[in-house]
Amino acid sequence: MSKQSDKEIKLQREKATKKVTYIGAAIGLLVVAVIAFVIWFVNFIPNSTVYTVGDYEVKRDLYTCVYYYDTMASQKWADYGFDITKDPYEQTFDNYANGKKFDTWGAYFEDLTDNTLKFMVVMNDTAEKGGYTYPKEVESHIATELSGIEKEKGNAKSFKDYMLENFGAPIEKDTFTQYLTLYYRSTDFYKHITENKALFQKYIGVNAASFEKTYQSHKDEIDVVSFRYCFLPHTAENTAKVNALKNVSSEKEFRSLCNTYAANETYTANDKSLYTNMSLKRINTLTKSKIAAYLSDAGSKAGDVFTAVGTTKGDAYTDIVYLVKPRGKDTTAYHESEVQNWEFAAMGVMLEDYYAREYKTELSETGIANFKKSMIIPEG
């Protein structure tokens, strides 16, 4: 074989280099395309995971369904300042709810949605693991609600378009059916286990002593009080009226004087101004004033009258409360079942412990970010 000239060798090297460059460029473009597809696939497909409860992955279509249908459109939020025609994440909430502080309505709705999904998933999973059998009424409820929507939307539009028009999101029928199944099964199971202590013990894994033990360790949340309440402007002219209310000899006299001084229809009927068996947790949610502390005090007794001065929007007022029943257990039955109200409250505490112990929940930052990007703001 003849020896190649330096020139020929140089030409061959140049051809080989060009070939490698072309191949490298093609591979590089392919890698870029694959990466771009993966990013698109993870971030934008409708069924990317948004929320995880235990082993259950809540996909974006179901999360969207619950956020719009079960949360955002479930109440007249406009009465509390929410405008459904504007981005909820751009509307200031500036309030406490469920013991948490939220900056925007979007964050508040997100929390409600997460809690709803957690409840539905945990109840369904617990029922399935324990071999619970659902009554026929559950499937009947699902079918009835679906047929009602089908009838209302008519044949002029698709299911998805109807949901978009009425609830702000293009929810598919299969997704909505999945939501209804989770919803009705979870509420049925929850109702049955909280109306029967034996069933609750079986499925949640507690014993009979757990009810009293839980109550004793959560008295400040579970205890209830009954009281009458009124308020008067904090003025010199009302000083004598407040003193008269503080020195009444009976609940009837207190109600009568409230009716006279406050001139409000709340006090015209015997029971209109009576707050019966209100939980201390609820009272503390409503007011942080001294009144809540008075009602929570274990030393308070029936017939005590408490007063506290407060201010709202610059206007001073005096709260006056007549204690009808001091703090303690609410022994009335829950939903006409064998379960007492204090036991039902204890179940709530035990369920929270059960959730935390058995089901880890996690929100996907990528999933929620892309949910926000794809949000549709309903037209006014």
Q: Where are the domains of the chain?
A: 14-44, 50-205+355-373, 224-328
Q: Are strands 361-363 and 49-53 parallel, antiparallel or unpaired?
A: antiparallel
What digits encode the pLDDT tens for the residues 45-81?
A: 557 899 999 999 999 999 999 999 999 988 889 988 9
Using the structure block, give the residue that is written with the tokens 């209310």: 245
Q: Is the pLDDT of residue 89 over 50?
A: yes
Neighbours of 258 (CB within 10 A): 24
2 C-beta neighbours (distance < 10 Å), count: 4
Q: What is the pLDDT of residue 39?
A: 36
d(CA 206, CA 198): 9
Q: pLDDT at position 34, please? A: 43
- Angstrom distances, CA of residue 75 to CA of 69, 91, 167, 207, 276: 10, 17, 12, 37, 25
Q: Which DSSP letter does residue 249 get?
A: S
Q: Which residue has the higher pLDDT, 121 or 229?
A: 121
pLDDT digits (tens, 9 = 90+) for 254-299: 999 998 998 777 877 778 888 989 888 788 777 666 888 888 898 9
- With 0-12 / 13-18 / 19 or more C-beta atoms within 10 angstroms meaning exposed / middle / buried, residue 107 is middle
- Does CATH place domain 224-328 in 3.10.50? yes
The C-alpha atoms of residue 281 and residue 264 are separated, in whole angstroms, by 27
- Give the tens place of pLDDT for each residue, 162-180: 999 888 899 999 999 999 9
Provide the edge-to-edge strand list for the sheet that holds 361-363.
56-59, 49-53, 361-363
Cα 330–Cα 101–Cα 78 angle in degrees, nearest 5: 85
The predicted model scores a pTM of 0.78
Report how far apart, in Å, the C-alpha atoms of 191 and of each of 85, 165, 194, 238 are: 36, 33, 5, 49
- The residues, any chain, with a CB within 8 Å of residue 69's CB and separated by 6 or more, are 163, 167, 169, 171, 176, 179
